[in-house]
């Protein structure tokens, strides 16, 4: 059987396939935190805040048209409700110059799907947590508006730059998560 070269795959399917390892790694690291105790949930929110703040700042500085809606305000609200301070260290996000912002935006927008799954897990376990971030509708709306673009075929000449943006975003999230979890373990 010939190797899959991505011919005929949509942008969405291409990015999902090519970033599955990074995505799974992040989900595994953060998944246990969301249904842990209140301190674990606060750690999950702090990681989200730290990672997203850098990406949101980069998107704003580069005047990206049709950028995802900022989520750090919602996360800040949830952290305040838990009685936790905002993280002061928000690492910069610097993707490769060749990276397409669509890949970055896909990662952020796709998180709306994960947030819905987390909400369902919290409800199933009857866990009461502040969920402004998880339940905010704007990112889900953004995701639905992106779908027509993401369902187009992945152009061969743009695949590496699309993947570069998505991989950079996942690498940023994973680095922030690894650093945050290592600090908590000390």
Determine the pLDDT at residue 34.
86
Determine the pLDDT at residue 186.
57
What burial class does residue 137 get, using C-beta atoms within 10 Å of its C-beta: 0-12 exposed, 13-18 middle, 19+ buried? exposed
CA 173 – CA 48 distance, rounded (Å): 8
Determine the pLDDT at residue 35.
81
For the stretch 155-162, contacts whose Cβ atoms lie closer than 8 Å and that sit 24 or more positions apart, written own/partner, are 156/6, 156/7, 158/100, 159/6, 159/14, 160/98, 161/98, 161/99, 161/100, 161/103, 162/11, 162/14, 162/15, 162/100, 162/102, 162/103
CA 38 – CA 128 distance, rounded (Å): 9
Write the Ramachandran bin of 8: left for phi over 0, alpha for psi from -120 to 50, otherwise beta.
left
CA 180 – CA 16 distance, rounded (Å): 25
Predicted confidence (pLDDT) per residue in 54-111, tens digit: 999 999 998 778 899 999 999 999 999 999 999 989 999 999 999 999 999 999 999 9
Determine the pLDDT at residue 126.
81
Superfamily of domain 21-185: Heme oxygenase-like (1.20.910.10)
Predicted confidence (pLDDT) per residue in 133-176, tens digit: 999 999 999 999 999 999 999 999 999 999 999 999 999 999 99
What burial class does residue 182 get, using C-beta atoms within 10 Å of its C-beta: 0-12 exposed, 13-18 middle, 19+ buried? exposed
CA 93 – CA 104 distance, rounded (Å): 11
pTM across the whole model: 0.92
CA 73 – CA 8 distance, rounded (Å): 39
């Amino acid at each position: 059987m010939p190797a899959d070269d991505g011919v005929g795959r949509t942008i969405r399917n291409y990015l999902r396939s090519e970033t599955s390892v990074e995505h799974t790694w992040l989900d595994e690291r953060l998944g246990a935190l969301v249904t842990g105790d209140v301190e674990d949930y606060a750690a999950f929110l702090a990681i989200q805040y730290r990672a997203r703040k850098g990406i949101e700042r980069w998107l704003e500085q580069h005047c990206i048209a049709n950028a995802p809606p900022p989520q750090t305000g919602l996360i800040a609200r949830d952290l305040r409700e838990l009685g936790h301070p905002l993280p002061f260290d928000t690492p910069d996000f610097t993707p490769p110059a060749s990276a397409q912002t669509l890949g970055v935006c896909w990662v952020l927008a796709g998180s709306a799907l994960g947030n819905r799954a987390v909400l369902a897990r919290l409800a199933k376990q009857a866990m009461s947590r502040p969920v402004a971030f998880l339940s905010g509708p704007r990112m889900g709306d953004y995701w639905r508006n992106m779908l027509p673009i993401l369902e187009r075929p992945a152009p061969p000449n743009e695949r590496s730059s699309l993947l570069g943006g998505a991989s950079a975003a996942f690498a940023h999230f994973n680095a922030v998560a690894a650093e945050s979890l290592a600090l908590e373990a000390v």
